[in-house]
C-alpha cells in the first residue's frame, strides 16, 4: 500500500491531483468521463463578486504544444454560484476549492467573506494572476505590494485554507511568493498562464479578440517547473504545482521540484480522463521505486 493522501498545511486531499480552475468547470461536467470522487480536488471555475460576461469571441488559439485563452473570467458571480451550483457540489466526496478573482480589494474581500460561509468548500484559491482581465486581477499579482495587500485583507475575512495562485508574468516570482506567505497564505499554487499572443499572418490580425492571452499546456512546463523549484526553496508553506502537466512523468517532475500537490489544466481538453490516469500512474511510480508515501518524493530533486 502506498499513501497518496496529502496534508496541505491543514487541507487534507485524498490524493495530490486537482483539476485546475478554468479547465474543471464545476467538476460535474466530468461525470460522464471519470468518477470525480476519486480526485484529490477540484478548483472550480474562476468566480467573481458580480456577473462577468467575459471577453468577446474568439477566445482561443492553438499554439505549438499549447494554447492561448482569453476567456476573461466569465462567470455568473458568487451569489449565483451559491444558489445554483454550490448545492450540487455538496454531493461530491472530493475537496472543492473556490477559485476567487476580483478587480478591487473590496471585491476580493466581499467575495471571500461569502466563500467563508460555504461549509463544503474548505479552501479558496485566490487568483491574483489572471492575465485576461483588463482591471485588477494580474495587477495585484505582479507586484509584492499588490499581493501583500490583497492577501492581507482577504486573510482578515477568510478563516479557512487560503491558497494564493501566483502569476508567472513577473520579474521575480520568489519575492511575490514570500509576500503572500508573509501575509498569511496557507499554500501557494503556481503557475497561472503566461502572457502570450498569436497573429494570423494572412489576415494580419491578432487571433484573439483581446490581442494577448494566457498560454498554457506543455509549452509552459519548463517555466512552471523552474518556478515551482525556486519558490519551494524559498517558502515554508506547501506548493501546488501546475503548468503543462500531461501525464504521470510530468506530475512526478513537479513533486520532485517541490510541489506537494499538482493541478491538471489544459491536458483535460486532450483527455478528460487524464487526471485519474495520473493518480493511478503516481501510485504505480511509487510502488515501482518502493516508496510507501507520496511525501517521500516531494522536493527530493537530486542536485548533487
Partner 1 sequence: MTKTVAKLSISEHKRVNDDHFILTLKKDGVFPEIKPGQFVNVLVEDTDVFLRRPFSIHDADTKQQSFSLLIKAVGKGTKSLQSKKVGDTLDVLFPLGNGYSLQENNKVLLVGGGFGIAPLYYLAKQLKDKVEDIHLLVGARSAKHILLTEKFDGLATVHITTEDESLGEKGYVTNHSILEDDFDKIYTCGPHPMTKALALYALNREISCEVSLENMMACGYGVCLCCVAETKTHENVTTCLQGPVFNAKELQW
Ligand X SMILES: Cc1cc2nc3c(=O)[nH]c(=O)nc-3n(C[C@H](O)[C@H](O)[C@H](O)COP(=O)(O)O)c2cc1C
Least Å distance, CB 11 to ligand X, is: 17
7 is in an annotated binding site: no
Work out what residue 192 binds among partner 1, ligand X, none; the CB cut-off runs from 5 to 8 Å by kind: ligand X
Residue number with CB closer to partner 1 (132 or 169): 132
Q: Which of 18, 14, 76 is nearest to 46 (CA)?
A: 76
Is 124 an interacting residue with respect to ligand X (CB under 6 A)?
no
CB 175: neighbour CB atoms within 10 A? 13
Choose one: 16-24, 116-124, 229-237, 247-255; the region binding partner 1 (CB under 8 A).
16-24
Q: Which of 45, 115, 104, 103 is nearest to 76 (CA)?
A: 45
> Would you state the cell numbers that stand for residue 96, as one nine-digit string?
472543492
Choose one: 28-36, 97-105, 140-148, 295-303; the region binding partner 1 (CB under 8 A).
28-36
H/E stretch holding 248:
helix 248-257
Site for partner 1 in 203-222 (CB under 8 A): 217
Work out what residue 165 binds among ligand X, partner 1, none; the CB cut-off runs from 5 to 8 Å by kind: ligand X
43 vs 124: CA distance, rounded Å: 8
Residue 189 pairs in a beta bridge with 165, 240
Binding mask 236-275 for ligand X (x = CB under 6 A): ------xxxx------------------xxxx--------
Choose one: 56-64, 81-89, 161-169, 183-191; the region binding partner 1 (CB under 8 A).
56-64
> Would you state the cell numbers that stand for residue 188, as one nine-digit string?
501557494
Work out what residue 25 binds among partner 1, ligand X, none; the CB cut-off runs from 5 to 8 Å by kind: partner 1
Give the long-range contacts of residues 106-113, CB within 8 A, separation 24 or more.
107/48, 107/49, 107/50, 107/136, 108/150, 108/153, 108/154, 109/153, 109/154, 109/156, 109/157, 110/49, 111/47, 111/48, 111/49, 111/78, 112/154, 112/157, 112/158, 113/157, 113/158
Choose one: 20-28, 82-90, 169-177, 280-288; the region binding partner 1 (CB under 8 A).
20-28
198 vs 126: CA distance, rounded Å: 28
98 vs 21: CA distance, rounded Å: 9
Catalytic position from the list 130, 215, 242, 261: 130
Q: Figure out which of the listed residues 15, 21, 48, 232 binds ligand X, where binding follows CB under 6 A.
A: 21
Contact (Cβ atoms closer than 8 angstroms) between residue 56 and residue 121: no
Is 144 annotated as catalytic? no
Binding site for partner 1 (CB under 8 A): 22-25, 29-30, 32-33, 45, 53-54, 56-60, 62-67, 69, 71, 74, 217, 266, 268-273
Pick out the residues of the known binding site for substrate. Answer: 45, 69-73, 127, 192-193
Amino acid at each position: 500500500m502506498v499513501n497518496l493522501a496529502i496534508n496541505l498545511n491543514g487541507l487534507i486531499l485524498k490524493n495530490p491531483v486537482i483539476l485546475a480552475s478554468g479547465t474543471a468547470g464545476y467538476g460535474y461536467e466530468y461525470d460522464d468521463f471519470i468518477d470525480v470522487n476519486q480526485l484529490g480536488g477540484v478548483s472550480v471555475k474562476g468566480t467573481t463578486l458580480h456577473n462577468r460576461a467575459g471577453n468577446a469571441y474568439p477566445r482561443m488559439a492553438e499554439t505549438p504544444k499549447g494554447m492561448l485563452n482569453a476567456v476573461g473570467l466569465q462567470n455568473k458571480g458568487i451569489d449565483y454560484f451559491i444558489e445554483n451550483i454550490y448545492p450540487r457540489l455538496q454531493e461530491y466526496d472530493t475537496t472543492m476549492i473556490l477559485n476567487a478573482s476580483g478587480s478591487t480589494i473590496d471585491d476580493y474581500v466581499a467575495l471571500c467573506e461569502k466563500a467563508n460561509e460555504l461549509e463544503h468548500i474548505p479552501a479558496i484559491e485566490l487568483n491574483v494572476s489572471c492575465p485576461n482581465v483588463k482591471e485588477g486581477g494580474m495587477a495585484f499579482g505582479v507586484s509584492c505590494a499588490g499581493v501583500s495587500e490583497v492577501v492581507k485583507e482577504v486573510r482578515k475575512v477568510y478563516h479557512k485554507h487560503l491558497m494564493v495562485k501566483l502569476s508567472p508574468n513577473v520579474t521575480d516570482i520568489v519575492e511575490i511568493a514570500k509576500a503572500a506567505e508573509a501575509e498569511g497564505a496557507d499554500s501557494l499554487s503556481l503557475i497561472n498562464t503566461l502572457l502570450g499572443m498569436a497573429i494570423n499572418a494572412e489576415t494580419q490580425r491578432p487571433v484573439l479578440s483581446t490581442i494577448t492571452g494566457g498560454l498554457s499546456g506543455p509549452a509552459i512546463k519548463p517555466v512552471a517547473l523552474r518556478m515551482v523549484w525556486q519558490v519551494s526553496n524559498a517558502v515554508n508553506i506547501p506548493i501546488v504545482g501546475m503548468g503543462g502537466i500531461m501525464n504521470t512523468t510530468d506530475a512526478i517532475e513537479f513533486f520532485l521540484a517541490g510541489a506537494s500537490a499538482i493541478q491538471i489544466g489544459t491536458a483535460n481538453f486532450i483527455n478528460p480522463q487524464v487526471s485519474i490516469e495520473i493518480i493511478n500512474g503516481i501510485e504505480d511510480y511509487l510502488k515501482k521505486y518502493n516508496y510507501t508515501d507520496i511525501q517521500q518524493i516531494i522536493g527530493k530533486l537530486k542536485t548533487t
